[in-house]
Amino acid sequence: MRGTTQRQSELVDQLVALLLAEGFAHLTQDQLAARLRCSKSTLYALAGSREQLVRAAVVHFFRVATGRVEAQVAATAGARAQIAAYLRAVADELRPASEQFMADLDAFAPAREVYQRNTVLAARRVQQLIASGVASGELRDVHAAFVADVVASSMVRIQQRRVASATGLDDAQAYTELAALVLHGISA
């Protein structure tokens, strides 16, 4: 986002929280301004249109979430523990995302593209963690790209709430099960 002042940063954080809780497809620029207790011109200072504002908020959400996920990984030693920490942290970051937010995210192409790009990056990161564990001998010799692709596919299904509807697991439970499945499958 173009915002750099303290007030603009706070406004972006409030916007992200609002969108995560309620979604965004039904909210007009006027409603966003009213809910955030600011003027429309203040919102337009952040982004030139409602669509750009939503996309920018989604980018901000994933950027902040990625930073927190990576902090969890950095604070953890060993490939197995890092993979588990990564998947748990992703679940924690997604916990505030309502079903409406996820549905709106899937229906709005610019936001969906941000989500898809982040899923690709997440798969690469899991692949790196697995490859590091294989190289150190902590994990058995597996095809890291394949395992990462399976993880990414599962992450997409979890985030689209398809796992919840098929299994009854909430996102956090699904990520816990995914971590257990992956870690037991790649253990040395």
Mean pLDDT across the chain, nearest whole number? 90
pLDDT band at 32 (very low <50, low <70, confident <90, very high): very high
The residue ranking higher by pLDDT, 170 or 112, is 112
pLDDT tens digits along 89-121 = 988 898 898 889 988 998 999 999 999 899 889
Residue 72 in this model has a pLDDT that exceeds 80:
yes
Contact assessment for residue 66 and residue 118, using Cβ atoms and an 8 Å cutoff? yes
d(CA 15, CA 36): 7
Nearest to 128, CA basis, from 82, 90, 88? 82
CATH of domain 51-186: 1.10.357.10
Residues 17, 9 contacting (CB under 8 angstroms): no
Q: What's the pLDDT score for residue 188?
A: 65
The pLDDT of 121-138, averaged and rounded, is 90
**Alpha carbon distance 47, 43 (integer Å):** 7
